[in-house]
Every structure is written in structure tokens, then in C-alpha cells.
Amino acid sequence: MTTASRIRAIIVALLAAFLLVAIPQPALAVTSSELRTQLDEANEKLDSLANEVMAAGEALNDTIFKLEETQEKVDAKQDEIDAKQEEIDAKQAEIDAKQDEIDETQAKIEATERRIQIKLNQLAATQEALSERMVATYKAGPTSLLQIILGSSSFEELQSNIFYAQKVRAQDEQRIEDVRRARAELEEEQEVLEQQKGELEKQQDELEKQQDELKRQQDALEAQQAELLELKAEQQALADEQASQKADLEKRQAEQKAYVDQLDSELKAKIEEERKAELERQRQEAARLAEQYGGTGPVQVTDANRQTILNAAYTQLGVSYVWGGYSPGVCFDCSGFTKWCYAQAGITLPHSAYGQSRLLSPRAEADLEPGDLVVWIGGMNPISGNHVAIYIGDNKIIHAVGRGVIIGGLYSVGGYTVAGAVV
């Protein structure tokens, strides 16, 4: 196993182990704040999974791109191999043609050799006949012209004997000359054929060398193609792994999305539940205050105690928001925060934004003073539910929201419903 293969195996094993971790189920949450925390965490996990899916998809795209490049190289190399094979086949055809020429020339050489042998046999027979005649003549003695004359019975016979003797001699000489000339011609033809054969064999040797070189080049191309095919196989395996990882991540992303949607539904239901409970509590508190104070609070806000209220509010900056909270330095909700700040000035307020709004003497925005209350009935942007804050001047408020006790603009949570002094 190569190093790259071992690394991929380790990655796959780790991913498999990671994927075995089940998507978390919503824990039982008592408040909407706790559900919102769970939802925020789930959304963070969903975002993380989305990033992982995107990264896995991009890695898969890169591998597929490289795989396509490798396939193009494999195809190009195959084209080279095919072209080289065509060259080899063409060269083989040339070699075969040369071999046919060599075979044909060899056949001509052999035929010529047979014809030379025939001429040699004829020459030998002629020479043998002449030799025999010369031997007979030698034994009988030389025949002179006088003997021919004396041996002739008539003038006609003399002419005939002289003509015959001359003709025999001329025929013998011509026969010998013809055989020698034919033999010379055949030997010359044979020499030419031998030269042609030698040249053809040289050409064939050169063609075979060229064919061997072409085969060597083809072998090299096939070796390169084999390496490319091996690379392609590795890339395909990696692409398959990455596709599997991406599919697993997408499955987990879908499960996480379902989990987020479930939390979101539970949160909305919890907020609605709390809103109704808060409205009921506010209604009961307002009824109690109306019965106790006849619609007004027991103490009015004065210039002397406004600063006390503001000083108390500033000491709680950064304290966490928890619904129902009324623990200085620890946690507050919006009405718990204003109730505690006013309590430091000796003023009792209900733990209810709606109830506190019932105690206000409304003022115009231009007439608001630091220490006045600002109330949103029916919800602030972007959530439902009533809300209350303390006006600190310069169109700013201090209040307890989801991020804790902070200072913000008068309209930082949308247009308010009513604002004024507690009376």
C-alpha cells in the first residue's frame, strides 16, 4: 500500500467514526432562552456541516477535473499508440514486399543457375565431341589438302570434301563460341541478380531495424499509458471515496437541518407559550395594582431619585439576560432590570413590562427625561412579547435584552409604544 493509499484509508476511518456520532436530540428546555441557545448551537453546527459539504464538493470537483485530464492524456496516448501501430503495420508491409522481391529475385537466380548449368553441360558435351574428333584425327594422322585431293575420285567429290571439312570446323568453332557466350551472359545475369538480392536484403534489414525502433517506441508509449491508467484508477478510487464522503456529509446536513427545524418549531411554540403566560401574568399584576393603588403607583419619580435609578442601571451593564431573572450582578429580564433599578430609589414596580406601562404618565419624545421608562407593547423587532427600558438621554436607552444589559438607541429595537414618568 502506498503512502497516499494509507493516508486515504486513515481519513476514511476517521470520517466513518465521526459519522457514527448521532445527530443530537433536543434537550428538554425550560425556557425559550435555553431553546434559543440550543438553536444557535445547532445552526452553528449546520453552518459547519454546510462548509464541510462545500469543501468536500470542491475537493470532488478537483479530483474529477484531474481525472478528466488524465483520461484525455490516456486517450491521447492511445492515439499515439494506434498511430505507431499503423507505422509498424506499414513498415511490415514494406518488409513483406521486399521479401517478395527477394524471393522473386532468388527464384530468378536459381533459374539462371539452372540455365548456366545446362550451358555448362552443353559446352562440356561439345568440348568432349571435339576432343574425341581431335583424338581420332591425331590417331589417323593429320589430313592435309593433298590427302583430300588424292582421296577424291572426282573434282565434285574434292569440292564436297573440302567444303565438308571447312564446315565441320566452322560449326565446331561456332558451337563452342555460342556456348561460351551464353555462359558469359548467364553469369553476368546471375551477378546482376546477386547484386539485386544483396541490395534488397540490405533494404529489408534496414526496414526491420526501423520496425524494431517503432516497436520500441510503441512499448514505451504503452508503458506510459499503463502508468496513466494506474493514475486514473487511483484518482477514480479517490473520487469514489470523496463522493461517498460528500454523500455522508449531505445526509448529516439534512439530519442537522431537520434538527434545526425541529428546534425552531419548538422555540416558536415556547415563545408563544411564554408570551401567553406573560400576558396572563401581566393581566393579573395589573389587576392587583389597580386594586391596590387605584391605577397609580405609591411613589412618584423625582429629580432627586432619577440619578439613583440611572446609577443603579449602569452598575449592571454586561449582566446576562435570563427570562424571569431578578438577580443583580447575575441575570435579569427586561422588567426585572427596571424593577430592580427603581427599587434602589425606593420605588416599587411590578415585574411586568405591561404592568409598568400602566403606571406611566405618557410624555412626548422631546419631553422624555433620563430615568423615564420606555415600553414596547406587543413586541419589539424582531421578536414578539412586551419590552421595557430606561431612557438615559440623548435618544439612548439602557435595557436587558438577549445579549444582556446594554446601552442602545431609542429605536434600536423598533418604534416604542409608550414612554413617560412613573406616577
Count of helix runs (H) and strand runs (E) in the chain: 7, 9
Between 105 and 353, the higher pLDDT residue? 353
pLDDT tens for each residue of 284-315: 765 665 565 444 444 567 787 999 999 999 99
Long-range interactions of 79-84: CB distance < 8 A, separation 24+: 80/221, 81/218, 81/221, 81/222, 81/225, 84/214, 84/217, 84/218, 84/221
Confidence at residue 396, expressed as pLDDT on a 0 to 100 scale = 95
Q: Catalytic residue at 399?
A: yes
Domain ranges of the chain: 19-265, 296-422
Model confidence at 328, pLDDT cuts 50, 70, 90, reads very high
Query: Tell me, what amino acid is at 361?
Result: S
Q: Answer whether 228's CB lies under 8 Å from 77's CB.
A: yes
Cα–Cα nearest to 127, from 64, 186, 60, 175: 175
Q: Catalytic residue at 351?
A: no
Lowest mean pLDDT among 179-183, 208-212, 271-275: 179-183
Q: Catalytic residue at 341?
A: no
pLDDT over 50 at 1, yes or no:
no
Burial class for 163, CB neighbours closer than 10 Å (0-12, 13-18, 19+): exposed
pLDDT tens for each residue of 252-292: 989 999 989 998 888 888 878 876 776 676 567 656 655 65
Q: Mean pLDDT for the chain?
A: 78
Residue of 331, 341, 351, 399 marked active site: 399
CATH number of 296-422: 3.90.1720.10
pLDDT over 90 at 369, yes or no:
yes
CA-CA-CA-CA torsion for 177, 180, 181, 187, nearest 10 degrees? Answer: 180
Between 180 and 28, the higher pLDDT residue? 180
